[in-house]
Chains A and B, each alone.
Chain A
């Protein structure tokens, strides 16, 4: 009886030990290799890969994306094989290695894409800031305080594109915003080229020499005659009252819309250049007190006829007239059809000192009164 009990206990103990050994072996088997499908890693790699495929500028990384696709396909193939393998022989270690390699490739692509996005954002920020500064300030601002503007369509386009860039940036369309900002920059550069081309004549040595001579002659004449004269410096947007060989007064002048060109014909919205005289003092015109000049003079007619001959201007063109120095000047604006406009108080002052026959010389620019570019 006792022997039977001992045998029963021994059998139970043996069975328990076998079970224990079985569990131990199982745990050991688990520990010695990766036996579970690496779901988390696989899912992470899939997610990374999808991110890469639809990430910004995916087309730039086409080659890297192909390599990634091959690596993922290889890892998936390995996983499928391991999934169907007999349980005790199942080992996902090689698949994990392949997945990790794929993850590394994907992360490298993502990093490059992120860097690209950051770069785009940074470029956009810088472009927007510099454009705002460029479009707001005018590097040609003369000492006299008036702003020099050479208006052209490209300026307007640049401003519109800048606004579009801001709108697109607000909508989170960084790439499109950058494209708009770069187009705005191109339009602005085009505008600057146009401005430079229009202003080039003001830096032409021969012309400057001619203008300087005319201005100095006028100054000398005031000293010799003891009478006053008016000198208009177009580039500086300045109207100077000369007396006794000195600058007696300096006024800020508004000029015509195309002030940077020399008047050639009617409706060209340009201010003439040359030596004129006050033909009439008109105290009350539609633009207040005005000094009517004797444009066109002989030199203007000669130039006009010569330009007609060379077909620089149309055969039916007219020379124009009624060029005045008048009131209604405003801040930073070139708005007249060809006249010189002074602020009302300045014009009243000049009108008092002016006389019929008073010499008025209009030059591109000169050194009298000081200028910004020698």
Chain B
């Protein structure tokens, strides 16, 4: 009886050891990896590249660290594998991927608001520049400058049109660049005319 019990104990112990070896060891967090990969891939859009490139780089770097950690653990002896650090990194990467999208949305919204504000302020500014040109001191000696300023005004209006067009195509950074040019030109015209008027007043 004792002999049978002893054998049973031995078989059981062996089975437990074998099970531990093959089944009870830690396994890679496949679902987490897949979910994080999906999140990062989904985050890699044109908008993200334009408006949140740094955040995207941060997220992909963390993902690379996480997968490297998973691989390191995979290569270890089954019983000594520990995926906790990898899981933490994956969690971080997933959070960062979500942040990338919100960052891009926020930065895009900011660029849009900036461009819109600039374009809105440009219409009265160009009208002011036109008015300034109309009231600029006229004489034989100022005609050349006035003609040059007319050309500048026309090109500023063209830049504003290009900015509005870029806005409609949701290219907000392009719109900003164009609008900034129009602003510089318009303010330059107003300044020049004011300076000419001041000079004339001083001359009298």
- Interface residue ranges, A against B (CB under 8 Å): 8, 11-12, 15, 18-19, 22-23, 26-27, 36-40, 42-44, 46-47, 50-51, 53-55, 83, 87, 151, 153, 155-157, 159-161, 163-164, 167-168, 170-173, 176-177, 180, 257, 269, 287, 328, 333-337
Chain A contact surface mostly: helix
From B63-71, B120-128, B195-203, give the one contacting chain A. B63-71
CA–CA, A173 and B115, complex, Å: 15
Q: Does B40 contact A (CB under 8 A)?
A: yes
A residues less than 8 Å from B67 (CB atoms): 39-40, 42-44
- Beta-carbon contact of A47 and B60 below 8 Å: yes
- A-B residue pairs in contact (CB < 8 Å), sample of 25: A11-B10, A12-B10, A23-B21, A43-B67, A46-B41, A47-B41, A47-B44, A47-B64, A50-B41, A54-B46, A54-B48, A87-B22, A151-B151, A153-B151, A156-B155, A164-B162, A168-B173, A168-B174, A173-B173, A257-B143, A257-B147, A287-B141, A334-B144, A335-B141, A337-B140
B residues less than 8 Å from A155 (CB atoms): 151
- Beta-carbon contact of A335 and B181 below 8 Å: no
- Beta-carbon contact of A15 and B155 below 8 Å: no
- Beta-carbon contact of B28 and A333 below 8 Å: no
Closest B residue to A330 by CB, please name it: B141
Q: Given A37-B30, A164-B181, A43–B151 Cβ distance below 8 Å?
A: no
Q: Given A39-B28, A40-B71, A335-B141, A153–B177 Cβ distance below 8 Å?
A: no
CA–CA, A337 and B185, complex, Å: 26
User: Out of B140, B145, B155, B177, which one reaches A157, CB within 8 Å?
Assistant: B155
B residues less than 8 Å from A37 (CB atoms): 28, 30, 74
Chain B nearest CB from A124 CB (Å) reads 13
- Beta-carbon contact of B75 and A151 below 8 Å: no
10 shortest A-B CB distances, which residue pairs?
Answer: A156-B151, A160-B155, A50-B44, A36-B74, A168-B177, A335-B144, A167-B177, A40-B67, A43-B67, A40-B71
Q: Does B156 contact A (CB under 8 A)?
A: yes
CA–CA, A22 and B172, complex, Å: 65
- Beta-carbon contact of A39 and B177 below 8 Å: no
User: Out of A38, A87, A160, which one reaches B181, CB within 8 Å?
Assistant: A160
- Beta-carbon contact of A156 and B37 below 8 Å: no
Chain A nearest CB from B69 CB (Å) reads 9
A residues less than 8 Å from B78 (CB atoms): 26
A residues less than 8 Å from B13 (CB atoms): 15
Q: Does B158 contact A (CB under 8 A)?
A: yes
B residues less than 8 Å from A44 (CB atoms): 64, 67
Return the CB mask of B6-36 against A: 1 if under 8 Å, else 0. Answer: 1000100110011001100000101001000
Q: Does B154 contact A (CB under 8 A)?
A: yes
Chain B nearest CB from A87 CB (Å) reads 7
B interface residues, tally (CB under 8 Å): 56
For A51, A54, A55, the residue with the greatest tally of chain B CB atoms inside 10 Å of its CB is A54
CA–CA, A42 and B40, complex, Å: 13
Q: Does B135 contact A (CB under 8 A)?
A: no
Total A-B residue pairs with C-beta atoms closer than 8 Å?
Answer: 141
User: Out of B68, B74, B77, B152, which one reaches A160, CB within 8 Å?
Assistant: B152
User: Out of B14, B148, B159, B181, which one reaches A151, CB within 8 Å?
Assistant: B148
Chain B nearest CB from A287 CB (Å) reads 8
Chain B nearest CB from A185 CB (Å) reads 15
CA–CA, A161 and B13, complex, Å: 82
Q: Given A36-B75, A50-B41, A269–B143 Cβ distance below 8 Å?
A: yes
- Beta-carbon contact of B158 and A160 below 8 Å: yes
- Beta-carbon contact of B37 and A46 below 8 Å: yes
- Beta-carbon contact of A328 and B176 below 8 Å: no
- Beta-carbon contact of A47 and B63 below 8 Å: yes
Closest A residue to B63 by CB, please name it: A43
B residues less than 8 Å from A153 (CB atoms): 151, 154-155
Chain A nearest CB from B175 CB (Å) reads 10
Return the CB mask of B149-192 against A: 1 if under 8 Å, else 0. Answer: 00110111011001000000001011011101100110000000
B residues less than 8 Å from A27 (CB atoms): 77
CA–CA, A155 and B150, complex, Å: 12
CA–CA, A39 and B6, complex, Å: 45
CA–CA, A11 and B159, complex, Å: 92
- Beta-carbon contact of A43 and B18 below 8 Å: no
Q: Does B112 contact A (CB under 8 A)?
A: no
B residues less than 8 Å from A43 (CB atoms): 33, 37, 63-64, 66-67
- Beta-carbon contact of A53 and B75 below 8 Å: no
CA–CA, A159 and B71, complex, Å: 56
- Beta-carbon contact of A40 and B177 below 8 Å: no
CA–CA, A12 and B13, complex, Å: 11
Chain B nearest CB from A244 CB (Å) reads 35
Return the CB mask of B34-72 against A: 1 if under 8 Å, else 0. Answer: 000100110011101100000000001001101110110
CA–CA, A44 and B145, complex, Å: 60
Closest B residue to A171 by CB, please name it: B173
Q: Given A39-B71, A171-B173, A15–B181 Cβ distance below 8 Å?
A: no
For A12, A37, A160, A172, the residue with the greatest tally of chain B CB atoms inside 10 Å of its CB is A160
